[in-house]
Amino acid sequence: MTQILIVAEHSDGRLNPSTAKCVSCAQTFGAGTVDIAVLAADAAPVAAEAAALQGVRRVLTLERAENAEPLAAVYAPQLAALARGYSHLIGPSTTFGKDLMPRVAALLGVGQISDIMAVESPHRFLRPVYAGNALMTVEVPADQIVVATVRMASFQPAAGGGAGGIEAVSVEATLPTHTRFLSRTQAKSDRPDLQTARRVVSGGRALASAENFKLLYALADALGAAVGASRAAVDAGYVPNEMQVGQTGKIIAPELYLALGISGAIQHLTGIKDARTIVAVNKDGEAPIFEVADIGLVGDLFQVVPELERLLRAERS
């Protein structure tokens, strides 16, 4: 029997979909229980969302003023204390989880498994290495707590409609004051979140300017898609870095990925290889993106994109 504790990721009083993906992963461990820990200044709205995830036994809330921002140095000692008695402590392989989980593991004196893709047994897992160019099966001893992060592209979010309990808890932990949150800037957008969107439209250096990305935004809106970009487009300053898709950006698994003017460098392909359908448009018929695309079109973006948008809008109406 496994006893799994999941660390909830949340912001602005909303649960991040990454938590529901961790629940899905936890459900593949076999018989056992799944709890969720919510660390927050005001945990109630997030805890209610977490308790409604299918398969969750109970949600533990740890409310402290210091938990207002997700600082790894502040969260880690509390989680290390809370994790005692559990067989597994898991979190999402997002920047939140990647920052936090190794710090908790070290406090618990154990190693950590990064990016679980599949659970072969509660102590044997599959994970990507070399930017996904190889897969590694890893084993951990059964006599110690397992700390791990879950690869977001490998799991669908757990459904809602559950009725887990909610319980306020407190732990003995001395919290450091050496780390202070100052600010967070995030682009406000009405489009879906890149990491969880079902459809993604991405642009590369061929867009040639920030202005030209407007063509992509219009197409994305016609499709109800999120917008991403290649590293080349980000480095050229056309779009902010949080839009980068690839090994060093976001690894995504949408149902539809439209790569527009993206040549298909290995590091970019690593970020999209789990997409269900890849559509590529590029003026260079030899571009490596066509090696992995399900549907390819050789053509000029500046003609193809507006026409595609027009046809898609016509389809919808």
Name which of residues 134 to 153 contact other proteins (CB under 8 A): 134-141, 144
CB-CB contact of 316 with 227 (8 Å): no
The secondary structure of residue 229, as a DSSP letter, is E
Q: Which of 94, 154, 202, 263 binds other proteins (CB under 8 A)?
A: 94
- Distance, in Å, from the CA atom of 92 to the CA atom of 153, rounded to the nearest integer, reads 11
Residue 226 binds other proteins (CB under 8 A): no
Task: Quote the least distance from Cβ 183 to other proteins, whole Å.
Answer: 5
What is the identity of the amino acid at 12?
A: D
Task: Quote the least distance from Cβ 264 to other proteins, whole Å.
Answer: 11
Residue 297 binds other proteins (CB under 8 A): yes
Q: Which of 19, 229, 290, 301 binds other proteins (CB under 8 A)?
A: 290
- Distance, in Å, from the CA atom of 255 to the CA atom of 277, rounded to the nearest integer, reads 6
Residue 182 binds other proteins (CB under 8 A): yes
Residue 157 binds other proteins (CB under 8 A): no
Residue 250 binds other proteins (CB under 8 A): yes
- Distance, in Å, from the CA atom of 225 to the CA atom of 197, rounded to the nearest integer, reads 7
Residue 187 binds other proteins (CB under 8 A): yes
The three-state secondary structure class of 228 is: strand
- Integer-rounded Cα Rg, in Å, for the chain is 21
Q: Which of 121, 165, 181, 284 binds other proteins (CB under 8 A)?
A: 181
Q: Taking Cα atoms as reference points, which of 21, 64, 302 lies closest to residue 157?
A: 21
Residue 278 binds other proteins (CB under 8 A): yes
- Distance, in Å, from the CA atom of 78 to the CA atom of 170, rounded to the nearest integer, reads 9
The three-state secondary structure class of 189 is: coil
Task: Quote the least distance from Cβ 52 to other proteins, whole Å.
Answer: 23
Residue 99 binds other proteins (CB under 8 A): yes
Q: Which residues contact 136 (CB under 8 A, 6 or more apart)?
A: 126, 127, 128, 129
Residue 33 binds other proteins (CB under 8 A): no
Residue 190 binds other proteins (CB under 8 A): no
Task: Quote the least distance from Cβ 198 to other proteins, whole Å.
Answer: 9
Give exposure, 146-177, as e/b (b: 16+ Cβ within 10 Å): bbbbbbbbbbebbeeeeebebeeeeeebeeee
Residues 104-133 touching other proteins, rule: CB under 8 A, are 104-107, 110-115, 124-125, 128-133
Residue 210 binds other proteins (CB under 8 A): no
Which CB atom, from 164 or from 204, has the smaller least distance to other proteins? Answer: 204
Q: Which of 13, 160, 165, 240 binds other proteins (CB under 8 A)?
A: 240
